[in-house]
Structure 1
Amino acid sequence: MHTGEYSEFKNGLLDQAAPLRARIRSGEHTGTTSGMAHSLVQGNVVILPADWAADFLMYCQNNPVALPLIGVSEPGNPALPELGHDLDIRTDIPEYQVFRSGERTETASDIRDLWQGDFVTFVLGCSFSFEDALIRAGLSIRNVEQRSNVSMYRSNIATRPAGRFRGNMVVSMRPFSGADAIRAIQVTTRLPKAHGAPVHIGDPSLIGIGDLNAPDFGDPVTIRSDELPLFWACGVTPQIALENARPPIAITHVPGKMLLTERLNEELAVL
C-alpha cells in the first residue's frame, strides 16, 4: 500500500470513532463495545477526585500489565484531546458505574450531573483492542462470535499496592485450541498497552477461579473440549482497588462498555 493510500485508509479508520461515540452519547448504543470500532483503541476508565489521583497514578505505574495507562485528563476537564477531538468523558461511555466509599451504588448513561471540578480521568488500555488484532490474525473470538460480553473473573493474583490502592487482579478469559493459543500469545505479546500476553493458561483453579461458567463480570461463553482457557489481565482490576481504597466518590465504565478513542491499535504495538 502506497503512503497516500495508507493515509487514506488510516483516516477512514479514525473516522469511525466520532459517529460511534455519537451513538453512545445519544443513548442509541448502551451495550458492550466488544467487536466495535475495528482497529481503534478502546479504553477502560477511572474517574477520581484530584486528591486521589497521585496514588492512583502510582498504582498504574506499579502494575503496567493490568493498568496500562494511555491517557490522563487535566483536573475538572472532561476532554481528552489526545484520544479524541470531540471526546466528552461525561457522555461517551455506554454505561457508567458509580462508587461511593467503595460501594457500587448506581449506574448511569450520562454523568454530567455528577461531574466535579476536581475530577481527573484515567484511561487504561483494554483487551478489546487486542481482540481486533487477533481477528485480523485469523483467530476466532468466542465472545464476539456469540455477541456477548467477555468473561471476567476475580483472581488470586495480587497487584503491587500504591498509597491507598491495593487488590487482586481481575482477568478476562478467551478459549482457544492449542495451535490458536500459541498464535494468540504471539499476537498479544506485541500489545503491552492492551495488557500484552496472557498471565495464565489452563487450570483456572490455580489462579483462584472456581467455575468458568460463573464469571464475576460479563457473560459465560462456550468452551469446547479441545480448547484451553487463556487469561489476560483486565482493566476491571482498578474497580477492585476502588472497593478497597474507598474514595468518597469514583466513577468507572461498566465492565465491557468501553471508551472508543481515535487512536489506532497499531500505535500501541511493539515491533
Structure 2
Amino acid sequence: MCASRAFPPPFSTPADARAAIRAADYAGPTSAMARGHVQANIVILPREHAADFLRFCQLNPKPCPLLEMGEPGSPALPGLGADIDMRTDLSAYDLIENGQHVATVSDIREYWSQDLVTFAMGCSFSFEEALDEAGLGVRHNELGLVGPMYTTNIPTRPVGAFGGPHIVTMRPYTPAKAIRAIQITGRFPGVHGAPIHFGDPAAIGIESLDAVEYGGDQVPIHADEVPVFWACGVTSRRAVESAKLPFFIAHKPAHMLITDRRNAEMAVF
C-alpha cells in the first residue's frame, strides 16, 4: 500500500525555499519546491578523500553528475547560489560514521570544520519537470510520494576506497511513453540523463519492486506498464558508505539542496 504525503509549500524562488529551510520552518522532502530550478544531491567529506571522490564522480557521470565542488572548509557553493550555506540549507542531513547512519539533523553547524569539502551532484527532480511538461506525468509526485529507490547489480567504476553498485529510481510507463521518456530525459545528462534499464527488474538484480530502499515509497504499476529505471544520486552516498570513512555527511534522500540554476540550463539540445 502507498501512503500519500502532503507536498511541501512551493515557494516562489529558491532563495525563499532555502530561507524557510534555514529558519527550520520546513524539514520535509523538496521535490515540489521552487519549480524550474535544479536541486542537488550532496556529499560532504574530509579533504583527504576529496581528490579520489572527484575522480569517482568523473568516472561515473550517470549516477554522480557533478555540478559543483566546494572549497575546503567553505560552506558556500557560489556557482549554484550566491547565498548558499551548506551548514543550514538542507531540510535534513544524514550523519554517517564508518559506513553506518548514526543520526539525522536539521543543520550541521556543530559538525562543520575547515577540513570538509562539499560535492553537489545533479538530481532527477530536474528531468521530472520535463516529463510533466511533456504530459507523461510522474506517478510518485502525483500521489505525493517519495520516488522509489533500489540497489542494483550494476557496478560503478571504483576509485580508491570508493565503489559499489548503482542505485536507481523507478518510474512506471506504458512502452510507448517509456520510449518518449527515454528521449526526453536523454536531453539532460547533467541530471542523470536517459534511463539505464527498463523492463525486468531481476535483470539488474532487483528481486522485488516491493522492497523499496533509502526512504522511498512503493509506487503502483499498472498492467500495461513497465518499470523504467534511472541512475540515482544516492549512488554517491553508497560509494562513500562502502569506503567506511570515519565520518561524512549526506543529504537525507529526497531532501535536496535547492539551487538558483535553472532546469532548462541542464538541457543539451
TM-score by length of 2: 0.94
Partner of 1:11: none
Alignment partners' CA distance in 2, 1:23 and 1:227 = 38
Q: In the TM superposition, what are the counterparts of 1:156-235 in structure 2 within 5 Å?
A: 156-217=153-214, 218-235=216-233
Alignment of 1:128 onto 2:125: yes
How far 1:213 moved relative to its partner? 1.7
Partner of 2:261: 263
Map Cα deviations across residues 227-265 of structure 1 (whole Å, 9 max, x no partner): 111000000001111221011110000111111000011
Which residue, 240, 243, 246 being the options, matches 1:248? Answer: 246
CA contact (8 A) 1:35 1:132 kept: no
CA contact (8 A) 1:102 1:247 kept: yes
How far 1:15 moved relative to its partner? 6.2
CA contact (8 A) 2:12 2:34 kept: no
Partner of 2:110: 113
Alignment partners' CA distance in 2, 1:210 and 1:253 = 27
Which residue, 42, 61, 65 being the options, matches 2:62? Answer: 65
Code of the aligned partner of 2:184:
V
Map Cα deviations across residues 22-77 of structure 1 (whole Å, 9 max, x no partner): 11112222111122221111100000010010010010011011100001110000
Higher helix share: 1
Code of the aligned partner of 1:219:
D
Alignment of 1:155 onto 2:152: yes
Pairwise CA RMSD: 1.4
Alignment partners' CA distance in 1, 2:162 and 2:137 = 36
Code of the aligned partner of 1:259:
L
> Which ranges in structure 2 are unaligned for 5 or more consecutive residues?
1-10
Q: In the TM superposition, what are the counterparts of 1:14-33 in structure 2 within 5 Å?
A: 16-33=13-30
User: SS state of the match for residue 44, structure 1?
Assistant: strand
Partner of 1:52: 49
CA contact (8 A) 1:92 1:259 kept: yes
Code of the aligned partner of 1:210:
E
Partner of 2:78: 81
Code of the aligned partner of 2:208:
D
- The range that moved more, 214-223 or 121-130, is 214-223
After superposing on structure 2, the runs of 4+ consecutive aligned residues of structure 1 that deviate more than 4 Å are none
Alignment partners' CA distance in 1, 2:72 and 2:203 = 41
Map Cα deviations across residues 121-159 of structure 1 (whole Å, 9 max, x no partner): 000001111111111111210111011100000111000
Code of the aligned partner of 1:190:
R
Q: Aligned residues: percent identity?
A: 52
> Which ranges in structure 1 are unaligned for 5 or more consecutive residues?
1-13
TM-score by length of 1: 0.93
Give the aligned length. 259
Alignment partners' CA distance in 2, 1:16 and 1:50 = 32
Partner of 2:4: none
Alignment partners' CA distance in 2, 1:183 and 1:16 = 30
